[in-house]
Structure 1
Amino acid sequence: MPDIFDQIEWKARNLFGKDPVCVHVGNVKECEIKRHPAYSKFRADAIRAGVQSAPSSRLWESIIAMGGLCDLDGDDTWRLVILDCTVPCFRSLSTKIARDFQVEREEIRSAMVATALEVWVGTVIGVPPRHVRDRMVKAAFEVAFRYGRGISSERSMDDVEVLFRPEMPAQGSALRAASIIDVNKIRDAGVAEQIRGERIGALLQGLGCLDAVRVFHNEIRTGRRSGSVNQVVMPRSRISNSNLYYYVSDLYPSFTGLREAASVMGIVESAAHRLIRAGEFPFPVARAGRSYKVSVRALMHFMDIPDAIVHVDDVENGALHATGGVR
């Protein structure tokens, strides 16, 4: 039976296959950097960079950032990648301890993975990204030696097991009321859903960007693209085409520049750079070459900007109403 190290490697390889891997913004099509390696090459580079000097590696800074961004969306993909690019340096030590101290190698390896994940969760804020990988390795080595000396402790394996469960759909966040009517207090969920969409449409109309929104809607209606809402049952989905729902954030680019994000947050760009270097920026940022990219969804979540699920018809009706019924 394959041990935990092999399971992590196989699952990571199956997730990416032979497709190119983008560690900058997570999507090759949206990335400004055009050359991306296949996963096997990416993994080899990451393992080598981790062993040589992870704290000074831009690659590992990007890997840690992508792991944090995926965690915000409830996605374990890059957490799995982090483990897959870290556990190879656990192999020889776990084998040696198991042989020298006559303990089960699989138990040591499982404990090392669980410990590395505990460290990962504990370094989200306040630890510079360049130090995260080394802390995971150090803690995993320490727990391996404790197992060898017979002073192992019970550890939760929940974080390990979740990596091998079936994927669960992410749930959309609720839209907070910003006007006289509190949508969250409307008893009829279908009416609340409709009002959310119409408010967004009226706002977009006021911003003068309805033409671009209509292009997006036409692409959804014709099946040329889809929103990011998957298997989420909305109150009126039985009478309204469920394929025509999308998150408001689908209208925005996935990433924006650090200067623009800092402006939204009310700080100067230099302050944002200092926070990133100190590991104190309030959410992960991606690294693309020499610049940083900020996830728009992560920024929205931090600023408490609602990311509502809306229907194309409701948005367009709200925009039409805002113009007094004139297209």
Structure 2
Amino acid sequence: MRQPTYSKFRSEAISARVRSASSSRLWESMIAMGRLCDLDGDDTWRLVILDCIVPCFRSLSAKISRDFQVEREEIRSAMVASALEVWVGTSAGVPPCHVRDRMVKAAFEVAFRYCNAATSSAYSMDGEGLFFEPEIPAQVSALKASSIIDVNSIRDVDVAEQIRVERLGALFQGAGCFDTVRGFHDELRAGRRSGSVSRARKSSGLSRSLISDSNLYYYASDLYPSYIGLREAAVVMGIAESAAHRLIRAGQFPFPVARAGRSYKVSVRALMHFKDIPDAIVHVDDIENGSLHAGGSAR
């Protein structure tokens, strides 16, 4: 049987990633061959894998270079270096079907950081600010003092949890959306909401949950819409909406999107996962306390 030429093999590999690398046996075989070659000190297949991944970096690196006056090769080199770091870091404990997606995700993250460094955004990328960075009113100045505390340095898990979630409640208040949050809490207290609430309490492992009503715990993402528009998602990712459209057309968008008429919608949970935004387990009292402090009230 005649073996395919490298150019044909490469074209098939690039096409396979558009259909999703996790379901592509070709990519699983390529990753497995790369691992075997690594054991022999041979980087041939690692270079083949990179050669088949790099094409999906081109449109994004070109867009960022054009819009933010950054050298294209500098961006692309950083993306390749990040992908290689993931290759090394996933040599054990990660199934071959997930390696390529993680390499691409890391490369895109590096590219987006170039955007974030070049422009200020009204949207926050961290685990507390989530998708907005509201203007904090003057009344929050007292609460801001708690931000000096490094939550990760607090040994009492329950205290750390409370401070972290109160900050999130303050952000909701500052964004002017706490009425929606309060309505959600009312439904929880009335027993009209269920599902992730009990699972969140059980998976939290917090001793405090043993004495608190399990129905008053939930995941922060329960407060968010299931989907947002591509424009809003692009802002969170740090790219222009037009660039996001081009990535989708080229099959290079880093996670699935859904059609909504003539436009696209993006899963909020998928976006959070891509940006490594933790889906925090929160308690209604902590959220409300943070909001009350931010509003200048005392409970």
TM-score (norm 1): 0.46
- Which structure dedicates a bigger proportion of its chain to helix? 2
TM-score (norm 2): 0.50
